[in-house]
Amino acid sequence: MKFSNTYINLGQAFFQRCLPQKSPAPELLLWNKPLADDLFISEELQSDKCLLSQYFSGSKLPEGAESIALAYSGHQFGHFNPQLGDGRAHLLGEVIDKNNKHRDIQLKGSGQTKFSRRGDGKCALAPALREYIMSEALFALGVPTSRCLSVVITGETIHRGLAKSGAVVTRVADSHIRVGTFQYFAARGDITSLKALVDYSIKRHFPEIENDTDEPLSSEQGILSFLSCAIDKQINLIVEWLRIGFIHGVMNTDNTAICGETIDFGPCAMLGVYDENKVFSSIDEYGRYAFGNQGKIAHWNMARLADCLMPLLIDIADKSLSKSEQEQQALNKVEHLIHQYSHKFDDAYFTMYGKKLGINNGVANKSLISNLLATMQSENLDYTKTFLQLTKSLSDENIAKKVSNTLGDWYQQWLVVLAQEETLKSTTQSGIQQSYYPLAESLMEKNNPVVIPRNHHVEAILEFCETIIGHNPSAITSSTKEVINNKVNEFLDVLRSPYKEIAATTKYQETSEDSDKYYQTFCGT
Ligand code: AMP
Ligand code: MG
């Protein structure tokens, strides 16, 4: 692996140099071969399981890696905490992937840092496995996300109320720059570091800004373009979550990556029955991070990013103006972008739902879309199944009858819109039933998953792995590892084909017996 660590060039204020803690008996449990190949990890290294378990538990640093814990702040459930940072994570550096992109390689659960506060710096096995499975599922679904390269069990027992097996999960991300990273420097009035962070973020994530202007990156134009790009990435991310029914669960500003990837899979869950107010996280008492609130929260988070950019704009403002005029001018500029969020989000939202319904122009069919969602909410319809049935109804008369019974007039109204967008095709060709709406059907097949990582299936697998490893993680055998790999990979094989049924898909399509009525998730510490 060829490491660089460009983040270190930003200077000492941005991180703490610290080594991961050595594990007593590291054992590689899961290895993401397709991702490893994308990162050009050599076959030689990939076949050396012992060395991999050393590297990806933090017991030994790969050559060229420089381990650091990153500084950041964050609004947690709306309350600002100026001092968060990587309390249980170590960034080893960046490697270049097959798309010629820098990707961060970070260990999580690898021991304490100066940012640990009262935490033990560790991660239990179940949350590490959840992050591995969920991120891989999101990736296959086409949702921007960080991914996991490996899960290593450390051989240590850790305490989370009950005794649990400790694990280190290796996360691969476009970067770990968060809204909270900007907040860290803004809160300290450190304009120089803020400027450096904007420059770095533009170069790393939005090179188009650099190419489009001859001005310095932290000029007014550069700063505003940066905010605008970050907003666009967030909108795309949230709309993609909504498309597949993902509830992140803890959209604090420290869990919001500037690059627009999903990070920090703590109490995340999938929506079963459609309910815009759905919350699974045990700590989200007031539904701040409910399914249907995620767009509003991302808006709020982007406003917090804008707050951090204000001092930079004031710093370069026209000095012939009074201080309050300088502030007002800066505010007007960022406010303009923050206000634009709502209509941009609205457009992206209806365009996405349009595609889920086989309609190219979702924005022109807002009431059709909203009416369907309202019916799904009032009739307690399963989100994934309803869209899948709608898709199938276009080429299967029996399903069409069933869906039309459930959705009543709405179904006919939908077909009218489809007919307007599409020239009618003939029904049969060599005796095979054809779809009346082949274009719509194909659009729907690309946007409506046949399978998602349903909560009860994820939980069953985590429980199975925890039970089989038991209370003696230092005595894991190779047959135990094989059983776990087979179990996880059988599920992952299905999740990696989310738009096309394979033989095992049906095993993972059914909803839970109680429709997740009593399901709760917890923060993954
Ligand atoms: P998270 O909920 O994982 O996004 O973490 C929120 C903050 O708490 C971050 O600063 C983490 O580094 C820190 N944190 C979470 N769990 C632990 C832990 N077990 N030990 C130390 N710090 C932790
Ligand atoms: Mg976090």
The bound ligand whose nearest atom lies closest to the alpha carbon of 522 is 1
DSSP 240-260: HHHHHTEE-S---GGG-BTT-
Q: Could you identify the atom of ligand 1 that is nearest to the CA of residue 525?
A: 16
Q: Are residues 232 and 185 in the same domain?
A: yes
Q: Are residues 170 and 299 in the same domain?
A: no
Domains in the chain: how many in total?
3
Whether 484 is in a domain gets the answer: no
Whether 395 is in a domain gets the answer: yes
Residue 171 near ligand 1, beta carbon < 6 Å = no
Q: What is the largest CA-CA distance in the chain?
A: 79
77, 88, 168: residue to mutate for ligand 1 pocket, most atoms within 8 A of CB: 88
Q: Is 254 a catalytic residue?
A: yes
DSSP 279-334: --BTT-TT-TT-GGGHHHHHHHHHHHHHHHHHHHHHHTS-TTS-HHHHHHHHHHHH
72, 79, 84, 91: residue to mutate for ligand 1 pocket, most atoms within 8 A of CB: 84
Q: Are residues 215 and 326 in the same domain?
A: yes
DSSP state of 512: P
Q: Are residues 223 and 309 in the same domain?
A: yes
Residue 135: alpha-carbon gap to chain centroid: 7
Q: Are residues 215 and 89 in the same domain?
A: no
Range of the domain at 95: 6-176
Q: Are residues 199 and 171 in the same domain?
A: no
Whether 497 is in a domain gets the answer: no
Nearest CA to ligand 1 atom 11: 87
The pTM of the whole model exceeds 0.85: yes
Phi-psi region of 470 (alpha: psi -120 to 50; beta: other; left: phi over 0): left
Q: For residue 406, give every residue at least 6 positions away whose Cβ sits within 8 Å of its Cβ, in sequence order, or none.
A: 379, 381
Whether 492 is in a domain gets the answer: no
Q: Are residues 367 and 351 in the same domain?
A: no
What does the alpha-carbon distance between residue 11 and residue 250 come to, in Å, rounded to a whole number?
Answer: 29
In residues, how long is the chain?
A: 525
Q: Which of 38, 86, 174, 254 is catalytic?
A: 254
* Contact by Cβ (8 Å): 27, 49: no
Whether 475 is in a domain gets the answer: no
pLDDT in tens for each of the 525 residues of the chain?
Answer: 999 999 999 999 999 999 999 999 999 999 999 999 999 999 999 999 999 999 999 999 999 999 999 999 999 999 999 999 999 999 999 999 999 999 999 999 999 999 999 999 999 999 999 999 999 999 999 999 999 999 999 999 999 999 999 999 999 999 999 999 999 999 999 999 999 999 999 999 999 998 777 777 778 999 999 999 999 999 999 999 999 999 999 999 999 999 999 999 999 999 999 999 999 999 999 999 999 999 999 999 999 999 999 999 999 999 999 999 999 999 999 999 999 999 999 999 999 999 999 999 999 999 999 999 999 999 999 999 999 999 999 999 999 999 999 999 999 999 999 999 876 554 545 545 567 899 999 999 999 999 999 999 999 999 999 999 987 778 889 999 999 999 999 999 999 999 999 999 999 999 999 989 999 998 765
Domain stop point among 144, 176, 208: 176
